[in-house]
Amino acid sequence: MSIRSRTIGGDPVYPVGLGCMNVTHAYGPPIDEADAVRLFQRALDIGCNFFDTATIYGAGRSEQLVGQAIAGRRDDVFLASKCVLAVKDGKRVLDARPEAIKSACDASLKRLNVDVIDLYYMHRPDPNVPIEDSVGALSELVEAGKIRMIGLSEMGEGLLRRAHAVHPIAALQSEYSLWVRNPEIAVMEACKELGTALVAFSPVGRGFLADPPADPATFHESDMRGTIFPRFSPENYPANLVLLDEARACAEEVGCSVAQLALAWTLAKGDHVVPIPGTTSVKHLEENHAAGAVSLSPEIVARLDAHFTPESAVGPRYNRYGQASVDTEQYDFETSGT
């Protein structure tokens, strides 16, 4: 079966990319760095050509490891990274001032050991800096040949349109999965209209949409899922587990794993959607990659849509702190507290 590539800013990419956060932080301690480099190199070997990293991932260490992995193979990868969010003196900082963005880009180029970054995102909106100023700085980086395309992350339709008015936005990154349907409120259609790729992060529900699913009882104390994401809390998680019965039934009918089903569902939502699951496991990397060949019938998509409604998930996507840092749209029931 031939697999049709997707495009970001006109560049072809394999339908399933690779999120490069997990190897350095977020869901537990960093993995062995040699293993991380081997994971990234294996991704290249099997044809995964879209790597998505960020300044904040491991305080820059993810970028360094990606740089090591792609050394001598720069033409094999569409390389994305992010600015605005960073770690300074052990603390998380948010800075979208033009001078900060330009400084961050120079640092990312050095860590990645490349001359140009294909796609450079604003990782979060900065309420203290007009987005027009930030995108203006990014457009100057395009003119300087340091980045090729501009992206946004965790922003809604309003900021997307304001940014796009300054410079074309090649990609908008947003959490999107069977478990998180919020992009369907507005940004999916806005992206389609503007020719912007919707890069779906956490498309496997941060491990929930797997079989077996992520188990909060086994989370390391540094795992953010135990603090920032209420759906994994002891109060909410058991009620969410019942959602997986239908996913397992559909996966069995299709002849794929639950994770592959989840990825194939995002791909079925539009040719401009590109999921970027992250993993620390070569086995899971290969499983995720193979989802690019999984095709879902309209009937299966409709069944999943009807089962995983936005209201079906128990608990908010983020805790109050996490939600305050993003500009993504919410459903009325989320903002009303019901």
CA distance 296 to 306: 15
For 8, the 3-state DSSP assignment is strand
Parallel, antiparallel or unpaired: strands 91-94 and 85-88: antiparallel
- Asked whether the beta carbons of 134 and 96 are under 8 A apart, the reply is yes
Q: How many CB atoms lie within 10 A of CB 198?
A: 23
Q: Tell which phi-psi region holds residue 141, choosing left (phi > 0), alpha (psi between -120 and 50) or beta.
A: alpha
Backbone angles phi, psi at 269, to 5 degrees: -85, -5
Best CA proximity match to 263, nearest among 298, 227, 293:
293
Buried/exposed code over 230-264 (b: 16+ C-beta within 10 A; e: otherwise): bbbbeebbeebeebbebbeebbeebebbbbbbbbb
- The catalytic position among 57, 176, 237, 318 is 57
Cα separation values, 303 from 65, 119, 181, 297, Å: 40, 35, 15, 10
> What does DSSP assign to residue 278?
B
148-to-30, 51, 141, 170, 271 alpha-carbon distances in Å: 30, 15, 8, 10, 22
Residue 57 annotated as catalytic: yes
φ, ψ for residue 186, nearest 5 deg:
-155, -45
Q: List active site positions.
A: 57
